[in-house]
Structure formats: C-alpha cells, structure tokens
Structure 1
Amino acid sequence: MSTDSLPARPGEPPLLPDQFDDALRARLAALDAASDTHADDQRPDNTTRAYRSDWKTWEAFCAQLQIPPTAATRGTLRAFVDYLWNREKRAYATIDRKLAGVVVTLRRPPYRVLVDPDDTEAARQLLKDYAKKAAEAEEPERGRGKAPALRLVDLQLIVSKCDTDIFGLRDQAMLLLGFSIAARRAELAGLRLRNIRPDDNGLLVHVAVSKTDPRTVPVPYGRHPATCPVRAWQAWANAADITDPDRHAFRRIHHTGSVQPQGLTPQRAGDIITAAGLRAGCANLFTGHSVRSGMATEARRKGKDRKAIAAITGHKPGSKVLDGYMQIVDQWDENDNALIGIGL
C-alpha cells in the first residue's frame, strides 16, 4: 500500500497538492461532491428556483449567439446585459440578479468555470451606464420598484378590516407578527410552531429560514389589543388547533374553512398581505416585503437606534438596505437635513 497519503511524521513538512496520490485525490473529490450536495440542500427553495430561471435565460441567449453556455467572457457577459436591457426590457435588479445567477451556476458542478471578477464587473458597469442614460432620458422606471413601507396607520386599518372568521384570524396574525419580526415573505412562510415560543413578556420568535443569518426576535405584548401581535398569534393558533411543533405556523385554509396541514408558499404569503391591503382600500399596493420595510421605517420614526432595528431585521452593520429605510425618515430630521433651521 502506498504511504504517500499518510499524515506526515512529526517534524516532516506536510504533503503539497501535487504530491497527493490517486487514492487521496479520489477521497478529496468525493468530499467535494458530498459538500456540494449538502450545500445545495441548504439553499432556500426560492433561491434555487431563481438560479434555475437565470440559467435558462443564459442558455437561450447563448443558443442565439451559437456559443456554449460555458463561454462567459467580458464580451459575452456584456452582450447578455445588452440583450436583457434592450431586447427583453428587463428591470435593473432582474438583470443584476441574473448575472449573479449565471456566475454562481457556472462555478458549481458540472461546469466548474470560474468567471473572471473583472469581466463580471465590466458587465455590471455597462448595466449601470444603461440605467443612468435611461434616467437622463426620463424613461419610466422598470420593474415594480421598492415595496411601499406598510405604515402603522395602514396596518391598523388593514387589521380592522379583516374578518373575524378563520381566514381573518390567520391574516391578522400574519400581518402583525410579520410586521413585528420584520419578516420577508419566505421567513413568514417558513415559520414552524417550534420557532414561536411563549414568554412572560410576549413571544420569542426564531427566524430560522432567512436569506441571511437566523435571528431570534423578542416580540412584546402590544399596548393596543387590536394590533397586538402576541394576542393575534394566540387567537389564530387556538382557532387553527396548531399543536405539532414541526408543522408550519401559518397554513393553507380550504374554502370551507378547514385548516390544512400544508404550509404557505412564500408567494402565497405575499399574496395574502397584498390582498388584505386591497380589501382595506389602501392607496398603496403592499407586497410581502412591505411589513419588513414598514417595521424599520416606523421604528426609526419613533427614534429607535439603528442597532436595535437591525437586531430585529437581521441587517448587518452598515447595510445599504437598512440605510435606505433610515433615509426615508432621516431626510426630515433637523440633524440630518441641512436646510432645517438655517433661516430659510
């Protein structure tokens, strides 16, 4: 038996990669494959679906150019941006995400193609230039744009318009708890009963399904019973008879009113929030992300520290997204608006 793959003796230098024998290389390749499979299993379903869609778009584009999909160069990536912007009329955020999806997919098996970061940056710079020219030409903004923040006054109105039946109880609980934990729609749909633990002061909600790191949010009792997230959750859980800790916290409901064992998809969770806003007659078209931006915006309006807000939203220090929420409020603050108090 070859001893080349055995650990080095004390005092001997470790083997370098070009000294590995075939048996060790095979073991390392098997470990790589197993780790890839495990990482894929951990990736959120919506991310996997998005990457799959991005790759299909890239394959169709490459077929038109009669090039293999592994030919990701500065020229082909720029051409891809041009194709999506000028022919497909896609939104800026969509094109940026598709670029990322293509690069990530190429990096993984079976392709294992590492795209030069400078080539990717060149394509992104072209996209920025297109967007800048479109703005200068006063072209209509593409895509849905940012989700409008669900302000507290709107939340109060929407909750008050919810029915008192099982559908209304679920919608109230989703809106109020989603607002309180600054939930993305996938985070709301991913909650299990075991993630929501009662506490003397309210609830401890562990957001395990997240784009970023998991977080635990302490949700206190509300001052007003009608908008209290804790009471709303308890009312829904009791009415739906949710007892299995491994089942979803928010479920599908049959049109007859019977609660189903299946959980909601992220898309359906967002649709429920949108529909609730429409029923209440709100001027803004709220989406699944509106409860998240709404919580951050309202907390800032009340003078809450950005670190305290980030602890609930899960944003990293210096997050540009969180900065965007802060700017909504801070633009009218006398300490952040240089025009206020100067004598105009």
Structure 2
Amino acid sequence: MSTDNLPARPAQAPLLPAEFDDALRARLAALDTASDEHAQDQRPDNTVRSYAADWKTWTAFCGQLQIPTTAATRGTLRAFVDYLWNREKRAYSTIDRKLAGVTVTLRTQYGVVISPEDTKAARELLKDYRKKAEEAEEPARGRGKAPAMRLDTLRLIVDKCDGDIFGIRDRAMLLLGFSIAARRAELAGLRLRNIRDDDNGLLVDVRVSKTEPRTVPVPFGTNPATCPVRAWKEWVEAAQIAAPDRHAFRRIHHTGAVQPQGLTPQRAGDLITAAGLRAGVEALFTGHSVRSGFATEARRKGKDRKAIAAITGHKEGSKVLDGYMQIVDQWDEQDNALIGLGL
C-alpha cells in the first residue's frame, strides 16, 4: 500500500499525559474548572435546583448506610432505588431523575464517573418495581400527566381574568404560553429582548429550555379577546416594561405595582393553576397544561407533526409528543381500526 498521501510524522512525538509537568497540569486543571463553571452558568435555574435536591436525598441515604457520598457502585445505586421506591414511595419519574442528578453531580463536582453498566442496573431494578406495581394494580404514583388546557377552556379562563394589572399579566402569560407551547420554566425565563415585534405578529426566542432553544413565530389571532400578540402588547404597555434584559413576566405587589423581579418557574405554574380555579374549571391545571393543550389542539386541527414539533421543540419521533397526540388520534379514523368496520 502506498504511503505517499499519509501525513508526515512529526519530528518530535507529543507528550503523553504521564509526562506532563506540574505547570501544564495546573493550566489544564484551571481550564477544567473554568469550563465547569461556564457549563453550570448555562444550566437553567430549575435544573440546578433539582440537582441540588437530588444530591440532598442521596446524602441522606448515604448517611443512613454510613457510606461516603462518592461510593456510587452498582450495589449502592440499586439500594438507592430500593430506598426511594419502597421507603420513600417516590414516583418512577422522580427516582429516574434523581439517579441522573446524582450521576451528574458526582461527575461535575467530585470527578467520580459512574459506570454506565451500574446506572443501567439500577434503572433495570426500577423498571422491575414499576412492572410489579402495575401487575398488583397499585395506584399510580406521582401527579401523572398535566391535563391539557384545550382551546375552549383557555377562552373561558382568559375571559374570567380581571381587567386590572394582575389580570392583564395572567392573560398575556396564558395566551403567549399556549402559543409557544411553553413549559413553566420557559415562561419564567423569557426576557423582553426575547420577544420581538414583526409585521405578522411576534418572534419569540425561547432561550431557557430543557431542550434546544427555539424561535417561535406567533401570528396575530383572529379573535381579539384571545390574540396572544395583542395580550402581550397590552401587558408591556400596562407594566411599562422597557429594559431589554429584564424578565418579560414580573411579580406584582399587592398594591398593583409591577416589580423588577421576574417570576420563578414555580410561581408561573401556580398562576396558571390559580387562573383555572378562578374560572371554575374542574381540572387542576399545571404549568405544563398550556404546552400540552397547544399540541393537542394543533393535532386536532390536522396540523403536521413537524410543524407542531417546530413550536414545541420536540425532536422528530418524540414519544412525549406522541403522548400529546394520543388524546386526538385515538378517535381518528386512520388511527383507530374500529372506526368504519361496520359494528
């Protein structure tokens, strides 16, 4: 075989890691620290809080076993799953997330890399526990899926919002949240600079997201009472928001004075829940309900899955997005083999 096209060998072979001197090691360690801090700064606040809560649970567990928190092995991870499932009675999704939180914290804060086979073994045990619980017909754990805020209900809730500054904010948050299929953290994370005027409506840059950032074009609504663009402009004018780096949705003092501080994700979700309760809706909506509601209504209107995913930020073939569609598709002639059989 000819070697004419191969790159020339370097005159001096590169140093191997074992040959690094102390000065180089120090520079590399500083780079590691800086990169970790930068990555931490990019992580959404709610993710940081979740990881902190996961680590607190892990620390309490390790304290009971009298083992160091860095002792994450196949056995300790399985014991952690058993502890959370059988003693703490946690939901499946909560335990799965806590495993991820502990793994990330150990890697980023302590340099402990857990074997993928060990985490897989822990998750397999978790799946076995869930399967046995289903076979025993035990009640499902956790809150379950957020109820979808369908369009007719959204109209009712928006109509029941007061005409004061509180109602103006809640109406804008509900309608814009529905239009961009927002998670509560995405609503809370919006800054004024993320929402830009366009001749056709608004361009909303969703930067704070658990998935990839996305830009959602929000057109003017055909009904002025539920138009997200008009609702947003009314809120901006009423709240006198001007600083581009300030939060789009703010806290409001009980006197009606708009505060410079933004809403937390928890507060944004609570406001959506409260708006539904004020309107007398039986379903208990959460911060995720506007997101689920958009996907459900868009599918019901026959919108293409790719067009829906472009707004929700889901990847192609997402099982989560399919779960939203199920509400509609189960009664679709193409997706329900019973329809048209002649029964």
Give the structure-1-normalised TM-score. 0.95
Measure how far apart 1:10 and its partner are.
Answer: 5.2
Equivalent residue of 1:204, what SS?
Answer: strand
- Match status 1:322 vs 2:307: no
Q: Distance in 1 between matches of 2:16 and 2:219?
A: 56
Deviation digits for residues 161-185 of structure 1 (CA, Å, limit 9, x no counterpart):
0101111100100000000000011
Q: Distance in 2 between matches of 1:236 and 1:221?
A: 15
Equivalent residue of 2:216, what SS?
Answer: strand
- Match status 1:265 vs 2:293: no
Give the equivalent residue in structure 2 for 1:47.
47
Q: Distance in 2 between matches of 1:274 and 1:162?
A: 13
Deviation digits for residues 24-53 of structure 1 (CA, Å, limit 9, x no counterpart):
222111111111111111111111111111
The aligned length equals: 336
Give the equivalent residue in structure 1 for 2:218.
219
Give the equivalent residue in structure 2 for 1:30.
30
- Gaps spanning 5+ residues in structure 2: where? 1-7
| Structure 1 runs (4+) greater than 6 angstroms displaced | none
Give the equivalent residue in structure 2 for 1:249.
248
Alignment of 1:323-342 (within 5 A): 323-342=322-341
Deviation digits for residues 145-199 of structure 1 (CA, Å, limit 9, x no counterpart):
1111110011000001010111110010000000000001111011111111111
Q: Distance in 1 between matches of 2:281 and 2:308?
A: 26
Equivalent residue of 2:316, what SS?
Answer: coil
Instruction: Tell me the amino acid that sits aligned with residue 101 of structure 1.
Output: G
Deviation digits for residues 69-101 of structure 1 (CA, Å, limit 9, x no counterpart):
111111111111111111111111111111111
- Percent of aligned pairs with the same residue? 82
Give the equivalent residue in structure 1 for 2:17.
17
Measure how far apart 1:18 and its partner are.
Answer: 2.9
Q: Distance in 2 between matches of 1:201 and 1:222?
A: 10
Give the equivalent residue in structure 2 for 1:173.
172
Equivalent residue of 1:288, what SS?
Answer: coil
Equivalent residue of 1:108, what SS?
Answer: helix
Give the equivalent residue in structure 1 for 2:5.
none
Measure how far apart 1:249 and its partner are.
Answer: 0.9
Q: Distance in 1 between matches of 2:233 and 2:30?
A: 48
Give the equivalent residue in structure 1 for 2:3.
none
Give the equivalent residue in structure 2 for 1:70.
70
Q: Distance in 1 between matches of 2:21 and 2:330?
A: 63
Q: Distance in 2 between matches of 1:247 and 1:165?
A: 22
Measure how far apart 1:11 and its partner are.
Answer: 5.0
Give the equivalent residue in structure 2 for 1:4.
none
Measure how far apart 1:15 and its partner are.
Answer: 3.0
Instruction: Tell me the amino acid that sits aligned with residue 82 of structure 1.
Output: D
- Match status 1:280 vs 2:297: no
Give the equivalent residue in structure 1 for 2:4.
none
Instruction: Tell me the amino acid that sits aligned with residue 263 of structure 2.
Output: L
Measure how far apart 1:342 and its partner are.
Answer: 2.3
Alignment of 1:153-172 (within 5 A): 153-172=152-171
Measure how far apart 1:12 and its partner are.
Answer: 4.3
Deviation digits for residues 223-262 of structure 1 (CA, Å, limit 9, x no counterpart):
1111100011111111111111111111111111111111
Change (3 A) 1:29 1:211: same
Q: Distance in 2 between matches of 1:195 and 1:14?
A: 46
Give the equivalent residue in structure 2 for 1:203.
202
Q: Distance in 1 between matches of 2:18 and 2:71?
A: 28
Instruction: Tell me the amino acid that sits aligned with residue 172 of structure 1.
Output: R
Deviation digits for residues 285-309 of structure 1 (CA, Å, limit 9, x no counterpart):
0000100111011001101111101
Instruction: Tell me the amino acid that sits aligned with residue 86 of structure 1.
Output: N
Give the structure-2-normalised TM-score. 0.95
Instruction: Tell me the amino acid that sits aligned with residue 183 of structure 2.
Output: R
- Gaps spanning 5+ residues in structure 1: where? 1-7
Instruction: Tell me the amino acid that sits aligned with residue 339 of structure 1.
Output: L
Measure how far apart 1:323 and its partner are.
Answer: 1.5
Q: Distance in 2 between matches of 1:62 and 1:243?
A: 49
Q: Distance in 1 between matches of 2:9 and 2:191?
A: 50
Equivalent residue of 1:244, what SS?
Answer: coil
Equivalent residue of 2:299, what SS?
Answer: helix
Give the equivalent residue in structure 2 for 1:311.
310
Q: Distance in 1 between matches of 2:64 and 2:248?
A: 46
Equivalent residue of 1:145, what SS?
Answer: coil
Q: Distance in 2 between matches of 1:226 and 1:172?
A: 10
Instruction: Tell me the amino acid that sits aligned with residue 213 of structure 1.
Output: E
Give the equivalent residue in structure 1 for 2:185.
186
Measure how far apart 1:16 and its partner are.
Answer: 3.0
Instruction: Tell me the amino acid that sits aligned with residue 341 of structure 1.
Output: G
RMSD between aligned residues: 1.4
Q: Distance in 2 between matches of 1:191 and 1:63?
A: 40
Instruction: Tell me the amino acid that sits aligned with residue 237 of structure 1.
Output: V
Instruction: Tell me the amino acid that sits aligned with residue 174 of structure 1.
Output: M
